[in-house]
Amino acid sequence: MKGLVTKSTGSFYDILAEDGKTYKARIRGKFRIQGIITTNPIAVGDRVEFHLKDDGTAVIDSIEPRKNHLLRKATKLSSKYHILAANVDQVLVLYTPQYPETLLSFIDRILVAAEAFDISPVLLINKMDLFEHNDEAGKKIEKFKRIYKPTNYPILEVSAATGYQLDRLRNLMKNKISVFAGNSGTGKSSLVKALIPDSNIRIGDLSQIHRQGKHTTTFAELHPLPFGGYIIDTPGIRAFGSIDFEPRELKNYFPEFRRFSPFCKFHNCMHVNEPGCEVKKRINSGEIPSERYKNYLDILEELKNQSPYRTKKFE
């Protein structure tokens, strides 16, 4: 039988099978001796094959290849990672110009991680009901749209309080596996409750990406959306940005850079001090926003100073 892993509690997994039933399952021992660098061999979002034993319990036999997965550093094993979720279609990145104001450096680190994990980003400007007659907030929103328009990421203004453009958001999420990301207070929980109004589920700290402290749980769960698709709930998503890659890879995770980098004089141009850099030329002309370039340089410096340990992007 085949199915989708919808919940992980460490020892057991919930599998939504093709027959519409949910089964509790364990994994075969062989999964733990494959030499992978992660602490958990199977994650929420994985598609698996399993069989039922005579006593009715299920055993997972194999896992289908993943198209991507989210990682965070393991809490006790610094050289290993924990898989938060697999086969994620998109990350919905929340931005608010006030109450609180979201820093663009925060947004860009999420976007870089999404690109590295091969997950499609959607930019949500939330709490629009609070900014209708707010000129200062309005200017920040227009600046935000200007900065991110060259990325070609979808940008959507929404409000959980009034339902503004939630139909468009539902269409973007329909039949996809999505996860929200954003600073505390940007309204993630309110949006989830607006999308699943009849549910009593407890939504974890999906948006607390950079909050410090211990993980209270590493369990994850997929919650079905009434219009089709799933939303991921896992407190570990706060470590969404924890991924290691070589500094030279970073330029590939800025889509507006990718558009012009083939025209740089040197094929390995890092867009910093190299002569004949087409990307820098477009930055100077304003075609690529300088705000994005500044954050690119900041992240690049961080990568150069980080631990020499590297992990494969996908297993």
52 and 7 housed in the same domain: yes
Q: What is the pLDDT of residue 23?
A: 95
Distance CA 290, CA 304 (A): 21
Distance CA 137, CA 55 (A): 61
pLDDT (mean) for 236-252: 73
Lowest-confidence pick of 24-38, 50-64, 74-88, 201-215: 201-215
> Which of the listed residues 184, 204, 239 is the one where a domain comes to its end?
239
In a domain, 231, yes or no: yes
> Which of the listed residues 218, 239, 260 is the one where a domain comes to its end?
239
Q: What is the pLDDT of residues 102-134, one digit of tens each?
A: 999 999 998 998 999 899 999 999 999 999 999
**Confidence class of residue 211 from pLDDT cuts 50, 70 and 90?**
very low
The domain tally of the chain equals: 3
36 and 169 housed in the same domain: no
In a domain, 100, yes or no: yes
98 and 186 housed in the same domain: yes
**Confidence class of residue 168 from pLDDT cuts 50, 70 and 90?**
very high
Which of 31-40, 208-217, 230-239, 292-301 is modeled with the greatest confidence?
292-301
In a domain, 113, yes or no: yes
Task: Specify the pTM.
Answer: 0.86
Distance CA 265, CA 250 (A): 18
> Which of the listed residues 194, 223, 239 is the one where a domain comes to its end?
239
Total residues found in the chain within this entry:
315
In a domain, 74, yes or no: no
In a domain, 29, yes or no: yes
Confidence check: pLDDT of 307 > 60: no
227 and 254 housed in the same domain: no
Q: What is the pLDDT of residue 201?
A: 60
| Helices 188-195, 166-173: crossing angle, 10 deg rounding | 80
Structural domain range at position 123: 88-239
Q: What is the pLDDT of residue 315?
A: 37
145 and 125 housed in the same domain: yes
**Confidence class of residue 74 from pLDDT cuts 50, 70 and 90?**
low
162 and 272 housed in the same domain: no
**Confidence class of residue 198 from pLDDT cuts 50, 70 and 90?**
confident
pLDDT (mean) for 275-283: 98
CATH label of the domain that carries residue 9? 2.40.50.140
In a domain, 312, yes or no: no
CATH label of the domain that carries residue 274? 1.10.40.50
8 against 198, higher pLDDT: 8
Confidence check: pLDDT of 299 > 60: yes
220 against 92, higher pLDDT: 92
Q: What is the pLDDT of residue 40?
A: 82
**Confidence class of residue 72 from pLDDT cuts 50, 70 and 90?**
confident
pLDDT (mean) for 69-95: 80
CA dihedral over 4, 74, 35, 58, signed as positive or negative: negative
92 and 57 housed in the same domain: no
In a domain, 198, yes or no: yes
Confidence check: pLDDT of 259 > 90: yes
18 and 142 housed in the same domain: no
Lowest-confidence pick of 198-212, 221-235, 244-258: 198-212
36 and 166 housed in the same domain: no
